[in-house]
Amino acid sequence: MEIRLISSLTPEDEARYASTLVKVMAAMLEELPITYAIHVQLADGNVVDHSHGLRLLDKGSPSHPPGDHAGPSGSARKVSVG
């Protein structure tokens, strides 16, 4: 899924609100058993990124099919601004 949001904010306001927007979106998606990446490119060229990997669930769980692995730690998160 790709979602695009075009704002009428000034570049200064975009920079101020971008990390809050990413945090709110991440809070909504974080509890779902999905891998996602949020990438916000601001008018001034700066970028706010956040990604989240799957947590390892019980092997008997329907949302964790056999052979489905999220890596050695079970989750990965990266937040960067710049």
pLDDT over 80 (residue 68): no
pLDDT score of 55: 52
- Between CA 42 and CA 11 the distance in angstroms is 7
pLDDT score of 3: 84
Would you call 37 exposed, middle or buried from its count of C-beta atoms within 10 A (0-12, 13-18, 19+)?
Answer: exposed
Hey, which residues does 49 pair with through a beta bridge?
Answer: 39, 80
Question: Global pTM?
Answer: 0.57
pLDDT tens-digit map of 2-29: 888 888 999 999 989 999 999 999 999 9
pLDDT score of 28: 92
pLDDT tens-digit map of 25-44: 999 998 888 899 898 999 88
Token code pair at residue 5: 């949001």
**Can you state the percent helix, strand and coil of the chain, rounding each to 5?**
25, 20, 55
